[in-house]
Structure 1
């Protein structure tokens, strides 16, 4: 019988229908929205994954990414989301899994800007232990039209494909066969877990409301220490390292 753990190890991703209750989601939304609206405090951690517009006077954040939000609002770390996701990460990959970093990714209404196909491992430095789990938590109902996650099951060998940056400092992207891609719609409080080598993507938001996601990234404690020794704290520029 296939379990969440065996599916995650085999295909590189799983869906959890309900990680959080609606009351737990409401707590996160309040903190999330306050951080999102504060462009002064978040300036050094904030960017647009879509890349910057050529005309700065018309600049609109289409895919707002804020790295390490819990460094700005430590109370996030005390919310149930971090505890529950951490327990899942340990169950999937081992008791030495810890939170490496968190981030917020918001797709603004009617911006219709996809997050391109990529593998998170392309951003990594080379590490001897490749275990990782990213928990993507939906704070809104997510579906194809507003940017739910899509995944492609892992393949044998699971290579890191060549990646490039989107124009004007945007996200990394790669070319890949998407014929086996699966979309994962979720209700608020639902989540997915994927590993760093799993190809994933989301469509642009064509609706009149935000698509808010909180992402918690886990890896072995020794590898977190290794990253920090190499100066990697997940606040720097986006580029292919691996």
Structure 2
């Protein structure tokens, strides 16, 4: 099935290779620098697990990393991902926000099932695509992405908030769930209504991911007019 056709019918698809190994290595250097720098990332950093400040963040999320380290947005991965976003959903797609999500070795904490649209305000144009780029080889045991093929409807399930400003989650039937293992440099694409999840990292390896989120330029303007720039507290904005 062609990339765009699968994305539109299932709500997700993937590429075996989005960027070359040399760029993966460059990204890892910047990524690790930001992970270690808790001062510069303060206010944009949280533990999606809902952890309350233990010695190790189980699921580190850093929002808008390219605001802290502008070198990121100049890298080829941003251009490549945007090109595919336009291929999948139209020429008016633009970068809304980026983020880093890291699962440290042996933390073994899942990212629960959820729909990204639960985090977003209601918009008249619902087109959106998230590009999840693997910076390490990913597989089920260290936290590769899982998806449930989307139905024709675009309903948002009821979501709940984990404690301590952790991730949102919902309850769903997972019998049709599919895992997408990737080599580093590969990526997945999913839309805002597609249910997705990842297992915890139970291995001694890293699991670093860069996520780039795209939507129509006009909808980004609408978000910013309403004060949404993806740097504030995590909350349920788009309810069932």
TM-score > 0.5, shorter chain as reference: yes
**Hey, what's the Cα distance between the residues in 1 that align with 2:187 and 2:7?**
13
Q: CA deviation at 1:167?
A: 1.9
Whole-Å Cα distance in 2 between the matches of residues 59 and 35 of structure 1?
17
TM-superposed deviation, 1:59: 4.0
Give 1:128's aligned residue. 124
Q: TM-score, normalised by structure 1?
A: 0.97
Give the aligned partner of residue 43 of structure 1. Answer: 42
Q: Which residue does the alignment assign to 2:194?
A: 198
Question: In structure 1, how many angstroms separate the alpha carbons of the residues matched to 2:102 and 2:195?
Answer: 20
For 1:208 and 1:39, the matched residues in 2 are separated by 23
Alignment match of 2:77 (pick from 74, 78, 81): 81
CA distance in 2: counterparts of 1:27 and 1:205, whole angstroms:
23
Question: What are the Cα deviations for residues 140-171 of structure 1, in whole angstroms up to 9, with x where unaligned?
Answer: 00000000000000012121000001122210
Aligned to 2:156: 160
Matched-pair contact (CA < 8 Å) for 2:51–2:58: no
Residues 140-219 of structure 1: matches in 2 within 5 Å? Answer: 140-219=136-215
Instruction: Pick the aligned partner of 1:66 from 48, 53, 62.
Output: 62
2-structure distance, mates of 1:139, 1:60: 20
Residue 221 (structure 1) aligned to one of 217, 223, 231: 217
Q: Does the Cα contact within 8 Å between 1:138 and 1:188 map onto a contact in 2?
A: yes
What is the alpha-carbon distance in structure 1 between the residues aligned to residue 59 and residue 154 of structure 2? 28
Q: CA RMSD of the aligned region, Å? A: 0.8
Q: Which residue of the partner structure matches residue 21 of structure 2?
A: 22
Deviations 1:122-153 (A, max 9, x none): 00101000000000000000000000000000
Calculate the TM-score normalised by the size of structure 2.
Answer: 0.98
Question: Residue 91 of structure 1 aligns with which residue?
Answer: 87
Does structure 1 conserve the Cα–Cα contact (< 8 Å) formed by 2:112 and 2:168? yes
* Residue 11 of structure 1: aligned partner: 10
Q: Distance in 1 between matches of 2:17 and 2:137?
A: 12
Taking the TM superposition and a 5 Å limit, the aligned residue runs for 1:103-142 are: 103-142=99-138
- By how many angstroms is 1:239 displaced? 1.1
User: Which SS does the other structure have where 1:87 is aligned?
Assistant: helix
User: After TM superposition, which residue ranges in structure 1, 4 or more long, deviate above 6 angstroms?
Assistant: none
Deviation at 1:74, TM superposition (A): 0.7
Counterpart CA distance in 2 for 1:156 and 1:20 is 31
How many pairs are equivalent?
Answer: 238
1:44 aligns to what SS in structure 2?
A: coil
Gaps of 5+ in 2: none
- Distance in 1 (CA, whole Å) between partners of 2:173 and 2:190 is 18
